Amino acid sequence: MPAPVNVLFVSGTGHCGSTLLDRLLTQLGFASVGELRHAWKFAFDEQEVCGCGGPLGACPFWAELRREAFGAEPPAAEAMRELHAGVDRTRHIPALLAGGSAAFRDRLARYGDVLRAHYAAAARHAPAGWVVDTSKNPSTLLVLRRVPGLRVLNLHLVRDSRRIAQSFRKHRPRPDLGRRHEAEPTLSPLMATLNWCFVNLALDSSAALVPSLRLRWEQVVAEPRAGLERILEFCGAPAPADWDFVGPDGVVLDRVNHGIHGNVGRFGQGRRVRLAQDESWRTDLSPADRLLVVALSGPQLLRYGFRP
């Protein structure tokens, strides 16, 4: 039997830092597929922009992956959207845990074949031997654990709930989304915090099912090399010959990344990115909003090592 494909799944809430972490892992020889779960929803038929800077539908990297997965005739986008929606949604978590009906297992097997083929093709572009998927959703993680031929590890990336609540309030245009030109969705501090609590609790529970490493984004920012070394040790992946891309004034991201649908930070190969702790929530959130966020998420913040 062929060796399993190594997949590092980055889980967490939106705005947790996964796109920049993805770029850092690309520097270490991981092959990125970005947020692969979004490919079926709209990416290929809406001409979303690939992390390499060109139209996703014309990217040679993704053309190879799609040929590997589908052959000469890829299915209609609507068919893939239906297949994806039929297994990878929060409402399907009970079925993913318990096994589900025969019809559900059939959909899951067909969708798993597509995922495995994409990851296997991407792995041939991974000097470190690992593919990284930043789809983040707990349901996607539970899908992956049921796909034969994958070795899945879960990197649970946690960011301070107050920073998440602040970030979800901002209106950010997304010119990379092709014809749609949508802005990122916004959430109130209440909804952002409830989502933060639910997602992280679900991922805590998943740690018993999938080998997991929890890492605070703030730790990565404070000591990027130490954070990346923890990830490499977790994966059993080789360390780089040198760490020249990590410096005291930031990191240099000069390797091409083909991520789908992360934030616009996935663009701009060759530029230096300054890593700094962002505590602007202290002034941007009102005292009432800060109190609300801490009241809802305080016990989890403490458990994860934050100071409410």
User: Is 100 contained in some domain?
Assistant: yes
Query: Are 17 and 263 within 8 A, CB to CB?
Result: no
Q: Supply 294's token pair.
A: 């801490």
Amino acid identity of residue 85, one-letter, is A
Note whether residue 241 is domain-resident.
yes
Mean pLDDT in residue range 243-272: 77
Instruction: Assign residue 66 the CATH number of its domain.
Output: 3.40.50.300
| CB 107, CB 7: distance < 8 Å | no
> Cα angle vertex 210, ends 26, 37, to 5°?
55
Predicted pLDDT at 55: 81
Q: Give residue 183's pLDDT.
A: 58
Domain enclosing residue 198, as ranges: 5-303
Whether pLDDT at 248 is above 90:
no
User: Which residue's structure tokens are 């139209």?
Assistant: 55
pLDDT per residue as tens digits for the range 199-222: 999 999 999 999 999 999 999 999
Dump pLDDT digits (tens) for 160-192.
999 999 999 876 655 556 555 555 678 999 999
Q: Count H helices and E strands in the chain, helices first.
A: 12, 8
Say if 186 falls within a structural domain. yes
Token output for 233 = 């040790």
In a domain, 64, yes or no: yes
Please report whether residue 308 resides in a domain. no
Please report the pLDDT score of residue 257 as a whole number.
86
Q: 32-49 pLDDT, tens per residue?
A: 999 998 887 655 655 678
Radius of gyration of the chain from Cα atoms?
A: 19
Return the closest-CA partner of residue 37 out of 127, 120, 144.
144
Can you give the pLDDT at residue 38? 84
At 265, the pLDDT band (50, 70, 90 cuts) reads low
Is residue 15 a contact partner of residue 216, using CB atoms and an 8 Å limit? no
Across 5-9, 201-205, 240-244, 273-277, least confident range: 273-277
- pLDDT value, residue 178: 56
* Residue carrying structure tokens 């107050």: 162
Token pair of 78, please? 């609507």
Q: Which two tokens stand for residue 263?
A: 């934030």
Nearest to 266 by CA among 48, 90, 113, 119: 48
Average pLDDT, the chain: 89
Asked whether residue 121 is domain-assigned, the answer is yes
Domain count, the chain: 1
Q: How far apart are CA 96 and CA 101, in angstroms?
A: 10
The answer to whether residue 31 scores a pLDDT higher than 70 is: yes
Does 287 map to a domain?
yes
* Mean pLDDT calculated for residue range 109-131: 94
Is residue 108's pLDDT more than 60? Answer: yes
